[in-house]
Structure formats: C-alpha cells, structure tokens
C-alpha cells in the first residue's frame, strides 16, 4: 500500500481534499464528476504555484484540457480525506502532460489519472 510519505517522495505537488456528503451518488460512493473536480483543484493549485495563472490574467490566454483518462480502482465514500498528487510528465512548446493520483486515507488505495493539456 502507498502511504502519504511515499506520495511526498514520488510527487512534486500534493493537496488534501475533505470529501463532502453531497459528492456521493445514488450508489453511496463519490460521483465520477467529483473526482474530475478534485483533479482540477489540484491542477489549478499547481499552475498557480508555477505562475501559470498569471499568464492567463496578463495575456488572456490559458490552457485547455485536451484529454483525460481515468482508471477508477476503488469506490471512495464519505467520510474520507483524499490527497491529489501531481507530477509533470512531459512538456513541449504547447503541451503539458500530467500524472495525477488520488490517494484515499480511508481505503489506503490509489486511483491513477493521466491528463494532457494544450496551451492556446
């Protein structure tokens, strides 16, 4: 099993998110849309840390999400605290690829997500 300490060693950026009751679906696990929002929160926090959000404000240009692939490995539920860990995998003049993982404290498990962004 992966621990928070291992995530801190393996990933450059980590944020915690407390799961809310209203984020669960009819099957009593976190709705798939909530996961995508969690990943967005972590992505924006990383972009802010790197100064990329300043580019959006200054030039009125930003990045768009070109592709997202999600492997849901285990259903997380309320109550839980999850941690979104992010690494930049590839960059180019108009491309950033990220690896983001979600770690559930309650389940002591990860789910893996890969994202590609294109600068416009």
pLDDT at 71 (0 to 100): 79
Distance CA 43, CA 73 (A): 21
Domains along the sequence of the chain with CATH: 4-119 (3.10.129.10)
Distance CA 45, CA 1 (A): 26
The model's pTM is: 0.85
Between strands 63-71 and 109-119, the pairing is antiparallel
pLDDT at 115 (0 to 100): 58
User: For the chain, which ranges sit under pLDDT 50?
Assistant: 120
3-state secondary structure of 58: helix
């Amino acid at each position: 099993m992966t621990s928070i300490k291992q995530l801190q060693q393996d990933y450059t950026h980590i944020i915690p998110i407390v799961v809310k009751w209203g984020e669960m679906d009819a099957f009593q696990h976190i709705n798939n849309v909530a996961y995508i929002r969690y990943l967005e929160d972590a992505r924006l926090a990383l972009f802010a840390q790197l100064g990329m959000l300043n580019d959006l404000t200054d030039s009125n240009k930003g990045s768009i999400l070109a592709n997202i692939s999600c492997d849901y490995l285990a259903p997380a539920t309320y109550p839980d605290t999850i941690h979104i860990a992010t690494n930049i995998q590839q960059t180019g003049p108009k491309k950033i690829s990220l690896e983001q993982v979600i770690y559930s404290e309650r389940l002591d498990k990860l789910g893996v997500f890969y994202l590609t962004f294109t600068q416009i």
